[in-house]
Chain A
Amino acid sequence: MNSPVIRTLILKDWRLHRLHIILSLVASGAALLVLQFRNEAAFVIGSVWLFVSLIVLGSMLPVSNVINERKKQSVVFLMSLPVSALQYAVSKVVSTIGMFLAPWGASAVAATIFALSRRDIPNGIVPFILILFGLPLVGFCLVAGTALISESEGWTISATIVCNSSYGLIYYFIVRNPAINGAFKSPTPVWSPPVLMILAGEALAAGLIMGLTFYLQSRKREFV
């Protein structure tokens, strides 16, 4: 792999999108601040805000980092550099995922620490928090994979709509699972088989989508 050039392309994407990342981190920070108020309304507003900021970032990044580069024809400029189509895809996947994972990881860690540090919130909620954080990650992978493979704004927006409208439904089924909601009030996190299965499923789905993206990208015969 032509790693110095790939690294340069990744850094270039980070530089171009640093405002998105900073804004997302600021939004997540603000949501965590709201969560500091010890009442139910602040908890609901802060939680929703936290997830919405991640969902917005996850929907926006693939369009901004992948689709716009094609739409505005900067991809021809990049492909004139000493990189192959697969290497370009690698740089796009790594930069896009990285730009999402930074605020996502920071938010997940902060939310987990927040839950563990608050005495009025039972630690049994931690597995549920991690499951919830897995949803925008899988959704983001699906939208980013669609953007990379289809190179179409229409398909990417469709994938975004499908993901965003599925979160509520998936949340509903997770919350109704007695193995999960039964452990909410536990003083310690309960890593029951359903919890582990859902977390593994989310990790597997994210990995499979990205693996399929790389595979399909490597089989493309036309790139620009």
Chain B
Amino acid sequence: MTDLAIELKRVGKRYPYFALDNIHLEVPHGQIMGLIGPNGAGKSTTIRILMGLVQQDCGDVRVLGRRMPAEQIAAKWDIGFASEDMRLYEGMTIEWHMNFIRSIYPNWDAPYAQLLLKRFGLRAEQKIKGLSHGQRVKATLLLVLARRPRLLVLDEPTTGLDPVARHEILRELTAVMTDEGRSILFSSHNTQDVEQISDQITFIDRGRIIDSMDKEAYLDRWRRLRLEVPLGIALPALPGIIGIRQDGRLAIATANVFAPDMANEYESSGARVKSIETMTLEEIFVANVERSREEVEA
């Protein structure tokens, strides 16, 4: 058995105004992968392909060792999928939905479902049409979690939620991961949410994966160097520096593979290093997207 929960190789999908191009994505078992991208980047298309809801034009997709979309039925028994655009039946109650899911999944964990109802502040007899957006998301997540899936695929689950609801949901997702056999793929354009729970992070933009690595590696390797550059001094091109923005005597160099020697190199060229700053995931994401777009346009 493969040690990957999700494996996409050279996956492509073409639409008239958008193309998913040569997507490689690997999520090991027991890991939380955050898929970050701006709106329209291809996150939902990628997720729909790996769920077997959209068929790729080329490439191989395996989820829990099953080929998608051909073996989607077998795979979906162990996948809990929730997306921002997923809606439950408005005229029916949460309890009706719980009974419906329980009639399909033998692994349905009724005590856990009751616990989640309590934790999320939901009442089983509530009709879906009477729920707020946050409550609907929680109800959907309850239906997904209580079937005890090995893999959770969540497409923008926290979009539009208030901070308290987001916190409740992220806490529950983190709790799910106490079982080491479980894996989560979590897409969002909210880097804070992803940073909070993910082990690994993949950036996607304009249908291409632009970077993918361990979260800690991102935070360790990316730095911003604030420099003072006297007139007449040209900054050297250093490996690992992906961009320099200069405004008069002040310059900001962004490193995606930071090495302490970089400061010495700049100092010896005549510049003065004013500070070396760590970057937030959001800053890393934006810098990554900008670099990728510049490369494509060049």
Kindly state the separation between the CA atoms of A224 and B76 in the bound complex, as whole angstroms: 16
| Cβ contacts under 8 Å, B73 to chain A | 2, 82-84, 87
A8 close to B104 (CB less than 8 A): yes
For the complex formed, measure the closest distance between the CB of B161 and the CB atoms of chain A, giving whole angstroms: 18
Whether A72 is near chain B, meaning CB under 8 Å from some CB there, is: yes
Whether A79 is near chain B, meaning CB under 8 Å from some CB there, is: yes
User: 1/0 per residue A1-40: CB within 8 Å of B?
Assistant: 0101100100010001000000000000000000000000
B83 close to A76 (CB less than 8 A): yes
Whether B115 is near chain A, meaning CB under 8 Å from some CB there, is: no
Chain B residue at smallest Cβ distance from A82 = B76
| Cβ contacts under 8 Å, B100 to chain A | 8, 12
| Cβ contacts under 8 Å, A77 to chain B | 86-88, 140
Once A8-B100, A8-B104, A87-B73 are accepted as A-B contacts, the answer to whether A80 and B51 lie under 8 Å apart by CB is yes
A223 close to B83 (CB less than 8 A): no
Kindly state the separation between the CA atoms of A84 and B91 in the bound complex, as whole angstroms: 25
A222 close to B76 (CB less than 8 A): no
User: 1/0 per residue A48-80: CB within 8 Å of B?
Assistant: 000000000000000000000000111011011
Chain A residue at smallest Cβ distance from B96 = A15
A8 close to B54 (CB less than 8 A): no
Chain B residue at smallest Cβ distance from A11 = B103
For the complex formed, measure the closest distance between the CB of B97 and the CB atoms of chain A, giving whole angstroms: 9
Kindly state the separation between the CA atoms of A73 and B76 in the bound complex, as whole angstroms: 19
Once A8-B103, A81-B76, A84-B69 are accepted as A-B contacts, the answer to whether A222 and B55 lie under 8 Å apart by CB is yes
Kindly state the separation between the CA atoms of A76 and B52 in the bound complex, as whole angstroms: 12
For the complex formed, measure the closest distance between the CB of A135 and the CB atoms of chain B, giving whole angstroms: 32
Among B51, B80, B86, B140, the most chain A Cβ lie within 10 Å of the Cβ of B86
For the complex formed, measure the closest distance between the CB of B215 and the CB atoms of chain A, giving whole angstroms: 27
**Interface size class for chain B?**
20 to 34
A224 close to B48 (CB less than 8 A): yes
B54's contact among A2, A16, A222, by CB below 8 Å, is which?
Answer: A222
**Interface size class for chain A?**
20 to 34
| Cβ contacts under 8 Å, A84 to chain B | 52, 69, 72-73
Kindly state the separation between the CA atoms of A223 and B76 in the bound complex, as whole angstroms: 15
| Cβ contacts under 8 Å, A222 to chain B | 53-55
Whether B247 is near chain A, meaning CB under 8 Å from some CB there, is: no
User: 1/0 per residue A93-122: CB within 8 Å of B?
Assistant: 000000000000000000000000000000
B55 close to A221 (CB less than 8 A): yes
For the complex formed, measure the closest distance between the CB of A56 and the CB atoms of chain B, giving whole angstroms: 20
| Cβ contacts under 8 Å, B179 to chain A | none
| Cβ contacts under 8 Å, B104 to chain A | 4-5, 8, 81-82
Once A2-B73, A8-B103 are accepted as A-B contacts, the answer to whether A72 and B53 lie under 8 Å apart by CB is no
Chain B residue at smallest Cβ distance from A5 = B104
Whether B125 is near chain A, meaning CB under 8 Å from some CB there, is: no
| Cβ contacts under 8 Å, B52 to chain A | 84
Kindly state the separation between the CA atoms of A12 and B96 in the bound complex, as whole angstroms: 10
Kindly state the separation between the CA atoms of A72 and B73 in the bound complex, as whole angstroms: 24
Chain B residue at smallest Cβ distance from A77 = B86
| Cβ contacts under 8 Å, A16 to chain B | 89, 91-92
| Cβ contacts under 8 Å, A79 to chain B | 51, 53
| Cβ contacts under 8 Å, A223 to chain B | 53-54
B87 close to A80 (CB less than 8 A): no
| Cβ contacts under 8 Å, A87 to chain B | 73
Chain B residue at smallest Cβ distance from A79 = B53
A80 close to B76 (CB less than 8 A): yes
B87's contact among A4, A8, A74, by CB below 8 Å, is which?
Answer: A74
Whether B90 is near chain A, meaning CB under 8 Å from some CB there, is: yes
Chain B residue at smallest Cβ distance from A71 = B87
Within 8 A of B (CB), among A176-224: 221-224
For the complex formed, measure the closest distance between the CB of A219 and the CB atoms of chain B, giving whole angstroms: 10
Among A8, A16, A76, A221, the most chain B Cβ lie within 10 Å of the Cβ of A76
Whether B258 is near chain A, meaning CB under 8 Å from some CB there, is: no
Interchain Cβ contacts under 8 Å between A and B, 18 examples: A5-B104, A8-B100, A8-B103, A12-B100, A16-B89, A72-B87, A76-B53, A76-B86, A79-B51, A80-B76, A80-B80, A82-B74, A84-B72, A85-B53, A87-B73, A222-B53, A223-B54, A224-B48
- Interface residues of chain B, those whose CB is within 8 Å of chain A, are 48, 51-55, 69, 72-74, 76-77, 79-83, 85-92, 100, 103-104, 140, 144
Task: List 3 tightest A-B contacts by C-beta distance, closest first.
Answer: A80-B81, A82-B76, A73-B87
Q: A84-B52, A221-B55 are in contact. List 15 more A-B contacts (CB 8 A).
A: A2-B73, A8-B103, A16-B89, A73-B85, A74-B88, A76-B85, A77-B88, A77-B140, A80-B80, A80-B82, A81-B104, A82-B76, A83-B76, A222-B54, A224-B48
